Amino acid sequence: MYHRALLEKTWEIVGKYLSDLPARHVGARDAVEDLRARLRRPLPQDPGDPAGVIDFLARECDGGIVASSGPRYFGFVTGGALPASLALDMIATAWDQNAVLSISSPAAAVAEEVAGEWILELLDLPRESSLGIVTGCQMANFTCLAAARHDVLQRFGWNIEKKGLFGAPQVNVLAGEEAHATIHVALRMLGFGTQHIQTVPADDQGRMIPGDLEKILRKMEGPVIVCAQAGNVNTGAFDPVGEITDVARGGNAWVHVDGAFGLWGALAPSVAPLLKGFEKADSWATDAHKWLNVPYDSGIAIVRHSAAHRASMSLRAPYYIGASGEIRDPSQWVPESSRRARGFPLYACIASLGRAGIASMVERNCRQAKLMAELLSEDPNVQILNDVVLNQVLVRFMPESGDTDLFTGDVTRRVQREGTCWAGGTMWKGKAAMRISVSNWATTEKDIEASAQAIRRVLKEALEA
């Protein structure tokens, strides 16, 4: 058999990791210096025994592994790995397909195509939209905004792919005050320059104010791109996307929605009203490795106007003999050429959860975030900074005396070291906060209770220190 003994050894390591995962110390136990000391060796000149390589890496990396796919990791916005999705990711690695053209892997191309159709149906987005499966929402934002750039300039008779931005009509780019950093990076990579982005004011929860957008648009001439957001990375708040598209329509603008995790709220009855009208936008970027709990890496770019999408990403070479007619070549919709077969784990995720399973996962995580906020705010030294409308909670720790920002940072680091759970730090409206994001399929109410207890215990220690 092909590497049978090695794969059995691998399976043992994987099986043990996954069964220990729920009880694991959540943060990394080893510092970067320790890991460097163990991993940095002279470049091997001769072949090594593969079994030895596996043992060495599994052993020496273990203390630097973060249990981020476990049920009590609340850092950033981090999904776990659903069992069926994890399995198909591993199988995809074994198949080692190149999902560049349908001819290089017909199965990878079709799995991606069907997963894409399901996603449009799940989110109830226009069925004529095209999709690109990319590495994450950063690249999804980039892909969508490249299509936007093509389309708004074409309306002014300019072919961006041929002529570039030199001498092009000036494109007005607007983004909310609280737009995610990756929007700025995407715009920068598209040649717009961050200084060129006009900021639309946001309210106390970080939502773009449509009235302010309208005032800015009224004074504008030429092509316009508006970047809205569904799910603020700190508060979870939603820009009023429906209103924004109504306002922008008058101005003949392209409206893009960054919905890295928030877009999936459309499936949860308690969240759906906050997304009212989001289907009227022109493009949507989201992640599968966040709230859908597909393993890294998996992002999704959705574009209403498939011709603009295709024109902006199109890839041609004499040896790229792609499909003819109705068959979809995956690489024609993304910035990548050779690429991993991300369609398999994505298909497996949706097939194993179904609409009801995704909806209940999202709804459950939102309920758990509210429970976390309730349990923490029973402590007089805790302040919750946001309206908990989604899966995000901003926590501020109040000292008896001294600097609240420093104290909040200190408690956050103590929570990370303690290991029951892990949450990161942030700044919200000039105030330091600990940021809790509940995004894992396996998180239970017990996990929330145990984590809230641990946080309060650590807070008490910090107050007494």
Ligand X SMILES: *Cc1c(COP(=O)(O)O)cnc(C)c1O
Among 78, 97, 105, 182, binds ligand X (CB under 6 A): 182
> Which stretch, 24-32, 168-176, 245-253, 256-264, contacts ligand X (CB under 6 A)?
256-264
Quote the least distance from Cβ 231 to ligand X, whole Å. Answer: 6
CB 100 within 8 A of CB 337: yes
Q: Which of residues 394-433 bind ligand X (CB under 6 A)?
A: none
Residue closer to ligand X by CB (options 79, 210) is: 79
Does the CA dihedral 197-154-305-164 come out positive or negative?
A: negative
Residue closer to ligand X by CB (options 104, 138) is: 138
* Dihedral, CA of residue 323, residue 287, residue 310 and residue 165, to nearest 10: -140
Q: Which of residues 258-277 bind ligand X (CB under 6 A)?
A: 258, 260-261
Among 231, 242, 265, 345, binds ligand X (CB under 6 A): 231
Q: What is the DSSP string of 412-455?
A: HHHHHHH-S-B-EEEEETTEEEEEEE---TT--HHHHHHHHHHH
> Which stretch, 41-49, 125-133, 134-142, 149-157, contacts ligand X (CB under 6 A)?
134-142
Give the x/- contact pattern for ligand X in 138-177, rule: CB under 6 A.
Answer: x---------------------------------------
Give the x/- contact pattern for ligand X in 65-104, rule: CB under 6 A.
Answer: ------------x---------------------------
Residue closer to ligand X by CB (options 243, 258) is: 258
Give how far Cα 367 sits from Cα of 240, 390, 424, 449, Å. Answer: 22, 8, 20, 13
Does the CA dihedral 215-275-444-24 come out positive or negative?
A: negative
Structure-token match 């970080």, residue found: 206
The overall longest dimension of the chain from CA atoms, in Å, is 71
CB 236 within 8 A of CB 386: yes
Q: Which of residues 326-355 bind ligand X (CB under 6 A)?
A: none
Quote the least distance from Cβ 53 to ligand X, whole Å. Answer: 30
In 3-state terms, what secondary structure has residue 81? coil
What is the C-alpha to C-alpha distance for residues 386 and 390, in angstroms, rounded to an integer?
10
> Is position 233 an interface residue for ligand X (rule: CB under 6 A)?
yes
| Residue at shortest CB range from ligand X | 136
> Is position 228 an interface residue for ligand X (rule: CB under 6 A)?
no
Among 299, 322, 343, 345, binds ligand X (CB under 6 A): 299
The strand pairing partners of 255, in sequence order, are: 226
Residue closer to ligand X by CB (options 134, 421) is: 134
What is the C-alpha to C-alpha distance for residues 96 and 322, in angstroms, rounded to an integer?
19
> Is position 136 an interface residue for ligand X (rule: CB under 6 A)?
yes
- Alpha-carbon Rg for the chain, nearest whole angstrom, is 23
Using CB under 6 A, list all residues that contact ligand X: 77, 136-138, 180, 182, 231, 233, 258, 260-261, 287, 299
